[in-house]
Structure 1
């Protein structure tokens, strides 16, 4: 099968999300004039080491985007298997001003380097200052870039001096309504320079 996105795919469901998978989930928390907000984004990733930077894309006008445009900050919370139901609950289309932390029963804590809430029991949280919001092609497609200014690591996720993803089993987004749990890790060394 081959298709041009501009012509449509002819399938019952768009395959694009399922092709680019698995994708990490950025559980983005913000604070704005209408209150605190928490929403999952599966177009999320780390993009640079020094200084550490992340990105996520919003494919509609959401409260998170409005809040971070005004505040200039956001926090990325890493989703573990134990939080899957709560993460999913925060994806509901709540009315503006609803505190998704409260609605979904998510533990809330304050960030240290920015004025923003974070998921208190997340395996890791990345406090970020917005460096750029890029309007992408299409209607309401936006890329948010941020510099990480503070990092929270849950103590039980540190093993032998490493942040160990097997300690909490991270969630990943596949396509459609599908998710994956990371349960097996394979370690590879890079080949020597030739």
Structure 2
């Protein structure tokens, strides 16, 4: 027995709660930007994924017109920092609705480091930083999808295993529904099956 819903007949916040509680877990883009007047901004966005590999493009979604979106539109640059389990308190605090002009780096006490290809700072203690230049944006209702071309990657050597980022060293956070967060938990190593190896029924 299922409960059936028609999104057109529901309050948007009810739809939001249903979607964010079922499209899980969601990786977090901890997005750092700088405004046109030089104020740094840092905010987590859990509507985030890879869009393309050739060219390398990632995307995050801004619900409403937040500082991250305004800064990206003004400067054409941003950094996606991996949000690790060890910084969960800092990640959560940077989601606070600070007034415009207040830097979350300073308010929360997050250490910066300079980017290599972009002006936006990176999170010094994040194990991975994807420096991006704006590719395009797409407006969808009350949201804007931001596509960024990755022009530089920085990966801490401590999370690499033979040159490959290792999940148990990265320890990424993910968002669930309500105020829930998750860590990686159990990791399953399961190879994709090639058709040539598929067992046909006798």
State the alpha-carbon separation in 2 of the partners of residues 157 and 133 from structure 1: 32
Report the count of equivalent residues.
192
Contact (CA 8 Å) 1:121, 1:154: kept in 2 or not? no
| 1:58 corresponds to | 62
TM-score by length of 1: 0.94
Residue among 165, 169, 190 paired with 2:167: 165
Residue ranges of structure 1 left out of the alignment (5+ in a row): none
CA offsets, 1:146-184, max 9 Å, x none? 110000101110122211120131100111111100132
TM-score by length of 2: 0.90
Contact (CA 8 Å) 1:76, 1:126: kept in 2 or not? yes
| 2:189 corresponds to | 187
Residue ranges of structure 2 left out of the alignment (5+ in a row): 197-202
Pairing of 1:28-67 with structure 2 (within 5 A): 28-34=31-37, 35-67=39-71
State the alpha-carbon separation in 1 of the partners of residues 17 and 85 from structure 2: 26
- RMSD over aligned Cα atoms: 1.7
CA offsets, 1:54-94, max 9 Å, x none? 00000011111111001001100010111100001101111
Larger Rg: 2
Structure in which a larger fraction of residues adopt helix: 2
Residue among 158, 175, 195 paired with 1:156: 158
State the alpha-carbon separation in 1 of the partners of residues 162 and 114 from structure 2: 28
Deviation at 1:187, TM superposition (A): 1.5
